[in-house]
Amino acid sequence: MAIGAAALVAPTLMARPWIGDAADGTAARLLARTMGGRDLALGLGALRALATSDQEARPWVALGGAADAVDAVATLLAFSAIPRRARWGILAVTAGAALVSTRVAESLDSPGPAPAAGALGPV
């Protein structure tokens, strides 16, 4: 959520490692803000769902991980165009965030199996 909020407030700062000097452009700031809004919304949704239950939070956390995985793939596809000093760091952050989110989603309580017929005893 912090990265999303930072991208909304300071889009050039957040975009510069990914796209270098192009981050100063209006279109780049627009894209950084939209990505920031997406990350902020997914994070807030996950926090709200966690307040209810792990089961409610699991899809939110998994979707955040999926978004981070898309970021990692996009980073790989444009790897040679990313500023040399930042490319490995960007890839590590995006892939790492995807991995962590996926592991956290998997660790959240899953719904138990439905009780077998008659397992609850006489009604």
The predicted structure's pLDDT at residue 111: 59
In 3D, which of 9, 10, 23, 8 has the Cα closest to residue 82? 23
Count of CA atoms in the C-beta half-sphere (13 A) of 45: 15
pLDDT digits (tens, 9 = 90+) for 63-93: 999 999 999 999 999 999 999 999 999 999 9
Percent of the chain with pLDDT over 70: 89
pTM over 0.85: no
DSSP code at position 53: -
**Domain spans, the chain:** 2-107
The angle at the Cα of 50, spanning 49 to 51, to the nearest 5 degrees, equals 90
Compute the C-alpha angle 82/84/86, nearest 5°.
Answer: 75
Among 68, 67, 57, 69, smallest CA distance to 106 is for: 57
pLDDT at 117 (0 to 100):
54
Q: DSSP state, 114?
A: P
